[in-house]
Structure 1
Amino acid sequence: MHRSLFYMLIMLLCCSCGKEVWLFTSFREPGTDGLHLLRSDDGYKWDSLPGVFFKPSNKLMRDPSIVQGPDGVFHLVWTSSWKGDKGFGYASSKDLRSWSEQQFIPVMEHEPTTVNVWAPELFYDKEAKQFIIVWASCVPQHFPKGEEAEDNNHRLYYTTTKDFKTFTPTRLFLDPGFSVIDAVIVKTDKPAYTLVLKDNTRPERDLKVAFAKAPLGPYTNISAPFTGKLTEGPAVLNTGREWLIYYDDYGKKQYGAVKTTDFRTFVPAAVQVPAGHKHGTIFKVKRRLADRLK
């Protein structure tokens, strides 16, 4: 009897260790100290993990995005400068503590007047077995603009890679006819892919969605805004019951979220996010790995 109970406890412990939890990448203003992480068991309530998990060598680290590849390796990209850089930072890790040597990935050198490379966002395309990296750049005089200045008129660009050693030539990802930044690709059911984006024009500065049959688009049917003004930095997760879209409500100096089941109807979600958290992405890890991060 005692032996049966012992083996039952072992099995329960093993099952518990195999469960996954959510991690949320983060930075703290002004973006010079490095990568922070939040943790959540349910996707609604988040706690800060103490410490800095990755330190940029000599520049900013803003908008950190992490995705885990099929081999278990975590890949990290980030905004390395407000202006001037024509690429973004990159590093990889097997445990989110020990990291590879930092690299700079130059993706906009073919456009010498490029103002910036903002918020690179990772997505792993399982069907094509490649990573897609989408970011926003402003190339003055290339596109019609609204009220924003010429050096703040952004479009979305992308590159793909299978190994983070060779990259396909940079291509235009989305020109919706207005300044756009902060794009997140989400694999959904109907339609197959949803893009959450920020309309960065002066009358808007809010979040919208668009839809496509393939991860690289074309994305069409851009929605009306589903957040208020002065919102940005979307991050998306699926709880199994609904989708949550987190966003930086920088006008109110807080983090907010909406929930949806179809990416057409959105209602406010009750979430808890620590103060100071800034623009990041959400991904799942094994519980035992997250426990070691403490």
Structure 2
Amino acid sequence: MKHFKFIFILLGLSNVLAQQPDPPGQVNSGEKAVNEAYLFAHMTHKDYGRLYYSVSKDGLHWQNLNEGERVFDNYQGHPDIVKGPKGNYYIAGNTSDSSPDINIWSSDDLITWEKHAIYTPDLTATPGYENALQRIGAPKLFYDKASSQFIMTWHTPHKEGTKEDPERYWASQRTLFVLSDDLKEFKGPPKMLFDWNIGTIDVIIRKVDSSYYAIIKDETYPTLYWPTGKTIRIARANSLLGPYSLPQEPVSPNFREAPSLIPSPTGEVWYLYYEQYPGVSYGLSIADNLNGPWYQASGYTFFSDWDKYSLPEKVRHGSMITISGKEYDTLVNEFGISLETKGEK
């Protein structure tokens, strides 16, 4: 009997000791963070396509603003925010995938948004993509300091789904882009960003040192013959417009989308979030280099002491950006912050 008790004690200790270490990239007590705070602009499961805010000080634990209510009623789309060269912010969206227009708003403080421009791309003018359907999915923005211009990306399909093969609509999605100096005037017709024949959606572009990274959702359906389907993958290039390498091995499991990338408070580690759709949970992969390797942090375990990150309930995808401590305080003072921080169980 004593022998069995000893085994149970060892098993209990093993469970305690087996917990995943806390994510790297956090500041030690008394140290100053390189990245002071974060904003998550997102939609919710109940109110898809509208604008909500959550904030974080550590990039891991997120809290609702505005009592979980909308922060800007006029916005519709998949929220994506970028900071421009003069310190102001821009957000892009569209009322639906079938709408011909992309709407862009600007803000000095992330609180009051004003209409900045409406862009209506001629999708049929895209070279090599003359059969594009009138669909504009999830417009996203990136400002490239090296070339002093914005790039706006979105996904557009070229095949309708059928009763026998509804998935071909999604597999036919290709990422298009257009360049602009000011997000008012746009240069030429839309073009395809990648030269590989892979369905892609939800593409965000980031630059680290001298390399550009396109973080994508592989939109082919997962099978034994395409095991990377519906995962988050990363491609690399030496210039903004590529050519981009073939995407790396998946960063996420299957059936994940809408990647959001933020640097840790120390600036030495990357946190890559993605949604397990539709609104099931959020995943977090961590690396100290965008070329990997990546590992997945523990979350949504039903044991709070095991969860290494947490998000408000029912959040859906959007974009995460770094903000200053002053901007964090301004947002909290304006909208109020939820006292609880918990992940959806």
TM over 0.5: yes
TM range (shorter): 0.7 to 0.9
1:279 paired to 2:298: no
* Mapped partners of 2:246, 2:95: distance in 1: 32
* Mapped partners of 1:113, 1:164: distance in 2: 23
Between structure 1 and structure 2, the one with the greater Rg is 2
Aligned partner of 1:6 in structure 2 is none
Which residue, out of 144, 153, 156, partners 1:134? 153
* Mapped partners of 2:192, 2:138: distance in 1: 15
Compute the RMSD of aligned alpha carbons.
Answer: 2.5
* Mapped partners of 1:30, 1:102: distance in 2: 28
Q: Residue 218 of structure 1 aligns to a residue in which SS?
A: coil
Shift of 1:123: 0.8
- Please give the residue correspondences for 1:115-130 in structure 2 after superposition, counting only pairs within 5 Å: 115-130=134-149
Q: Residue 193 of structure 2 aligns to a residue in which SS?
A: strand
Which ranges in structure 1 are unaligned for 5 or more consecutive residues?
1-15
Could you give the per-residue CA deviations for residues 188-243 of structure 1, whole angstroms, max 9, x where no partner exists? 23x61111101111121111111100122111131122211110000001111211
Shift of 1:74: 0.7
Q: Is the 8 A contact 1:136 1:180 kept in 2?
A: yes
Q: What is the identity, as a one-letter code, of the residue corresponding to 1:77?
A: A
Q: Residue 187 of structure 1 aligns to a residue in which SS?
A: strand
Going by fraction, where is strand more abundant, 1 or 2?
1
1:76 paired to 2:88: no
Could you give the per-residue CA deviations for residues 222-266 of structure 1, whole angstroms, max 9, x where no partner exists? 112221111000000111121111000116700111001223211
Which ranges in structure 2 are unaligned for 5 or more consecutive residues?
1-31, 126-130, 223-228, 298-307, 333-345
1:62 paired to 2:87: no
Aligned partner of 2:296 in structure 1 is 268
TM-score by length of 1: 0.83
Could you give the per-residue CA deviations for residues 62-121 of structure 1, whole angstroms, max 9, x where no partner exists? 321001112121100024203x22332211111122221364321244458524111111
Q: Is the 8 A contact 2:77 2:92 kept in 1?
A: no
- Please give the residue correspondences for 1:184-203 in structure 2 after superposition, counting only pairs within 5 Å: 184-189=204-209, 192-203=211-222
> Using CA pairs below 8 Å that are at least 6 residues apart, which structure has the higher relative contact order?
2
Q: Residue 279 of structure 1 aligns to a residue in which SS?
A: strand
Q: Residue 52 of structure 2 aligns to a residue in which SS?
A: strand
Q: Residue 236 of structure 1 aligns to a residue in which SS?
A: strand
* Mapped partners of 2:287, 2:49: distance in 1: 34
Q: Is the 8 A contact 2:237 2:245 kept in 1?
A: yes
Q: Residue 293 of structure 1 aligns to a residue in which SS?
A: helix
Change beyond 3 A, Cα 1:44–1:19? closer
Shift of 1:43: 1.0
* Mapped partners of 1:102, 1:275: distance in 2: 32
